[in-house]
Amino acid sequence: MMLLKKYMNSEFTPLYIIIGVLLIVFVGFEFQLYGDFSIYFAASQDLAKGINVYTYNYGTNQDLPYMASPALAYLLYPFSLLSLPVAAAIWKMANILLLYRLWILLEKHFSSVNWKGKQHRTWILLSILSLSFILYRNFHLSQFTVLLLYLIFEGIYQIRKSKYLLLGPFLLGLGITVKILPIVALPYLLFRGYWKQVLLSILFLALTLFLPALTLGFDFALVLNRAWITSISPTSDMNVFDVSQNVVHGIATLISTLTIDGIGNDYSLSLKRNIIDVNPSIVVGIIMAAKGLLLLSILYVLRLKTFFKDIGINIQSFYELSYILLISPLVFPQSRIYNFLFLLPAMSYFSYLIIKHREGLSMTVKVLLALSVLILNLELILGNFREYYWHFKSLTYATLVLLVLLLWLKPEKFQLSNKDE
């Protein structure tokens, strides 16, 4: 009894409970749901047969392209030797472990915070619950976003703290191999002076991308990588306006739907959503300019006076990473709801401010945060009406509001230093 009482009083108990509940839910109710994992599973089997996976569609209705790297399909080959139900179940269980380790890595940035009473537990719950539906969709679809976040934070942590020079760069190179999103970590590390580790990450990335050449030949591996780069290029025909799927969110699809009358796909609703009608060639320029401004805003967050200087693992570095990760699904093409799990660090930062610096937040900020969290999880509430959520790109609006709030609520505004009393 004493042991149980001690365990229940542990500061990490809420996290254990959350993970335990997730484990029960997904093993008990979603064991037979494979989600997008079936796409990766089938692509891995096809690649092993020497088939160009970028010339086929996958999924239940055979209407979804494979858009991850050829190296990922190659690395997943051991899974393809299992039955799909077993492979998907293993992957979901692995994601729970990755989520746990990810949270531990996030917490390291707040090690100097003096939590009082139940503040720490409340912070964990607020952070997780603010993105509960997006987190659910990641598990439901058996996606790779938890892995990507883990590889980013583990890679950067190992680069900053580990005595093993190669471990961090290897993890980041592997992350970019899985999906392109973790590439945002490389310019950040370069800004912080880790140019050797950036070069090593690029080297590991190049080596990993050509793993298929070991059994499929260099020429075929080159064809596959070119096809992959084309599929994710922001200037490709499918990605420039980013409206090939209703469920896509981001700055390109938002601008396109606001400025081009009737743009969409065969499944788009007939409801009008453009406010002006602009020549598509001009819209392309507007989209590129908007993405450029978002990327340039990172310099404002990073503070140029600290160029080529590392600032360690603290709230300031966490804030910087939070901002970079928040804008990532906005600027990268083909961003679905599960990619917006990249907002988890930002939501953890906001939750921290609410708990420790609530008096410094205006009522306007609090209302905007509450509305944004509501919109982030609105697809769950809407149910069968979620097509309207997709049609009007509500998730993109909420993310842009959070972006503005994050720019406004910089650590120095609250006089946060490495020591937070």
How do the pLDDT tens digits run along the chain, 421 residues long? Answer: 444 444 445 555 555 656 665 665 555 565 566 788 999 999 999 999 999 999 999 977 777 889 999 999 999 999 989 999 889 888 988 998 999 999 999 999 999 899 998 899 899 989 999 998 999 899 888 899 999 999 999 999 999 987 778 999 999 999 999 999 999 999 999 999 999 999 999 999 999 999 999 999 999 999 999 999 998 988 887 889 988 888 899 999 999 999 999 888 767 888 889 899 999 999 999 999 999 999 999 988 987 667 778 888 899 999 999 999 999 999 999 999 999 999 999 999 999 999 999 999 999 999 999 999 999 999 888 887 889 899 899 999 999 999 999 999 999 888 765 444 4
Cβ atoms < 10 Å from Cβ of 52: 14
User: Phi and psi for 189 in degrees, rounded to 5?
Assistant: -65, -35
Alpha-carbon distance values, 59 to 223, 285, 379 (Å): 23, 34, 22
pLDDT at 405: 97
Q: Which residues pair with 65 in a beta bridge?
A: 57
In this structure, what are the phi and psi dihedrals at residue 341, rounded to the nearest 5 degrees?
A: -65, -15
Please calculate the CA angle 253-258-261 and round it to the nearest 5 degrees: 105
Which residues on adjacent β-strands are paired with residue 57?
65
Give the CA distances from residue 213 to residues 39, 76, 287, in Å, rounded to whole numbers and listed in that order: 22, 15, 36
Helix/strand/coil (H/E/C) assignment for every residue in the chain: CHHHHHHHCCCCHHHHHHHHHHHHHHHHHCCCCCCCHHHHHHHHHHHHCCCCHHHCEECCCCCEECCCCHHHHHHCHHHHCCCHHHHHHHHHHHHHHHHHHHHHHHHHHHCCCCCCCCHHHHHHHHHHHCCHHHHHHHHHCCCCHHHHHHHHHHHHHHHHHCCCCCHHHHHHHHHHHHCCHHHHHHHHHHHCCCHHHHHHHHHHHHHHHCCCHHHHCHHHHHHHHHHHHHHHCCCCCCCCCCCCCCCCECHHHHHHHHHCCCCCCCCCCCCCCCCCCCCHHHHHHHHHHHHHHHHHHHHHHHCHHHCCCCCCCCHHHHHHHHHHHHHHHHHCCCECHHHHHHHHHHHHHHHHHHHHCHHHCCHHHHHHHHHHHHHHCHHHHHHHHHHHHHHCCHHHHHHHHHHHHHHHCCHHHHCCCCCCC
Phi, psi (rounded to 5 degrees) for 337: -60, -35
Amino acid identity at 87:
A
Q: What are phi and psi of 141, to 5 degrees?
A: -90, 0
The identity of residue 254, as a single letter, is: L
Q: Would you say 322 and 185 are in contact if contact means Cβ atoms under 8 Å apart?
A: no
The pairing of beta strand 64-65 with beta strand 57-58: antiparallel
Q: How far apart are CA 209 and CA 228, in angstroms?
A: 10
Domain definitions of the chain by residue range: 100-414
Question: What tokens appear for 32 in the block?
Answer: 């037979």
Q: pLDDT at position 20, please?
A: 62
Alpha-carbon gap, residue 172 to 366, rounded angstroms: 35
How far is 146 from 150, CA to CA, in rounded Å? 6
- Predicted local distance difference test score (pLDDT) of residue 7: 44
pLDDT of residue 17: 57
Give me the pLDDT at residue 182, please: 95
Burial of 172 (0-12, 13-18, 19+ CB in 10 A): buried
pTM to 2 decimals?
0.91
